Amino acid sequence: MTGERVKPEAMIPETASRKEIESRVDELLTRGVVEVADKEHLRARLLEEGTVLRVKLGIDPTGSRLHVGRGSTLLKLKEFQDLGHQIVIIIGDGTAQVGDSSDKTGARKGLTPKQIADNIKDYMQQFARILDVSKLELVHNADWLENISLDTLLRLASCQTMQEAVGRKNFSDRISRGDSVSFAEAFYPLLQAYDSVMINADVELGGTDQTYNLTKGRDVQEAYGMPPQDYMTTQLLIGPDGEKMSTSIGNCIWIDDTPEIKYVQLMKIADSLIPTYLECATRLPMDFVGRSIQELHDGTADIVALKKVLAHEVVRLYDGNEAADNAATYFQSTVQRMETPESVLRSKLEPGDISIKALVSLLVEKNLARSKADVRRLIEQHGFYVDGIPIDPKTAHIKLAENGSFVIRLGKRSLNMLAIEAE
């Protein structure tokens, strides 16, 4: 069991007044937060001078990259860290072998040890974009789960009834369809909860899809004679496709994407998502966020300008101010003015009539499109641009003159471009 309480250095000035500290704590408890259990208890502990809380976040390594939805939770952890509390991130290399089906309509396939090892190797670099990793406690739950005793299994099993397990909506829906639900899936929340015992957690963070698992953490701690952890659920970010941002689905804005790609992706989000992104994915002052949301509600907001502020701030958080400035300039020239960047990918072909079919194959070969079908769909939707002009879907060839060139862009606001030059 881990859990030594060593006070990390706080990032708030020693001269900060009680009122300033209370303001920081109140924002921590409300910004992007859906539920806190127990809010008044946690607030009191956060305001206790000298108290060091152990704040837990568990991450099952279902992929090698973290998205800005996960990043919004890291920002919340940073608020705790800046107040001098101990952040404990649990890499779920044990629980990932089971798979968390909390937000899934079917069973999640467990990961192999090799998949897990490959996925976690770059996590610390990604954490470091937000957190002070020198003060971070990083543990792996396979260290205790792989050698769990029968006595422990039975004690954990007593913390969940069959009615609770099968009463969860996604499980009950599957059962009603005649789909199977394994005991391993039903046991997952108890394994996650046991992590809270092993690290002596005071607080656990998670998205709203994790509420049941977080409450089980409290139950299991009490079964072990420990004070139950407080927990905090945060809003889930929606991806550019309108679905919950998910590593498994891949509809993500990745925090290790280039600044330019992040900026463009953020400019593409639905207008209705701006309030959630401003509150959860940035640390712009809440009075600015509140005014912006009111202007959106009133219909007086400059949507494009507001998205530019949002995109710049998110990129700044992960990549720095200079990178954010450069990404904004890149967006204005490459997307808004349809200019071709010097760094565009280039291919040389023999001059003459180049068939659309050949260009479609080349775009897939260069990894600028996922499939030929995707490119053909763009052509039908007038989203295949040649030198800034969408081609007619009936076009069969593009003329490449001697010593000539043209630039293909897949989508009006896309960075997927290929310059075709005559050999």
Answer left, alpha or beta for residue 269, where phi above 0 means left and psi between -120 and 50 means alpha. Answer: beta
Interatomic CA distance for residues 118 and 203, integer angstroms: 29
Interatomic CA distance for residues 166 and 422, integer angstroms: 64
| Secondary structure (3-state) at 377 | helix
* Angle, vertex CA 351, rays to CA 349 and CA 354, nearest 5: 75
Q: Which residues pair with 54 in a beta bridge?
A: 86
Kindly report the number of other CB atoms within 10 A of residue 81's CB atom. 22
Residue 4 has pLDDT above 80, yes or no: no
Q: Tell me the C-alpha to C-alpha distance, in Å, between residue 198 and each of 4, 143, 311, 378.
A: 11, 10, 39, 52
Q: Amino acid identity of 80?
A: F
Residue 21 has pLDDT above 70, yes or no: yes
pLDDT digits (tens, 9 = 90+) for 212-263: 999 999 999 999 999 999 999 999 999 888 889 988 788 899 999 999 989 9
Interatomic CA distance for residues 409 and 2, integer angstroms: 53
CA atoms within 13 A on the CB side of 245: 26
CB 96 within 8 A of CB 111: yes
DSSP code, position 100: -
Strands 345-349 and 389-390, sheet pairing: unpaired
DSSP code, position 64: S
**Helix residue ranges per DSSP H, 168-285:** 169-176, 183-199, 211-223, 259-267, 274-280
pLDDT digits (tens, 9 = 90+) for 275-301: 999 999 999 999 999 999 999 999 999
Q: Which residues pair with 207 in a beta bridge?
A: 234
- Higher-confidence residue of 411 and 211: namely 211
Is the pTM of the predicted complex or chain greater than 0.75?
Answer: yes
- Length, in residues, of the chain: 423
- What pLDDT score does 78 carry? 97
CB 79 within 8 A of CB 286: no
pLDDT digits (tens, 9 = 90+) for 323-377: 999 999 988 887 777 677 777 888 999 999 999 999 999 999 988 888 999 899 9
* Angle, vertex CA 327, rays to CA 324 and CA 330, nearest 5: 155
Q: Which residues pair with 204 in a beta bridge?
A: 56, 231
Q: Across all residues in the chain, what is the average pLDDT?
A: 90
Task: Write down the residue that tokens 């609770």 correspond to.
Answer: 164
Q: Which of 213, 196, 222 is nearest to 88 (CA)?
A: 196
Please name each of the domains of the chain with its CATH number: 18-234 (3.40.50.620), 259-336 (1.10.240.10), 345-422 (3.10.290.10)
The CA-based diameter of the chain, rounded to the nearest angstrom, is 81
* The two three-digit tokens of residue 105, written as one number: 């309509």
Beta carbons within 8 Å of 369's beta carbon, 6+ residues apart: 360, 363, 375, 378, 410, 416
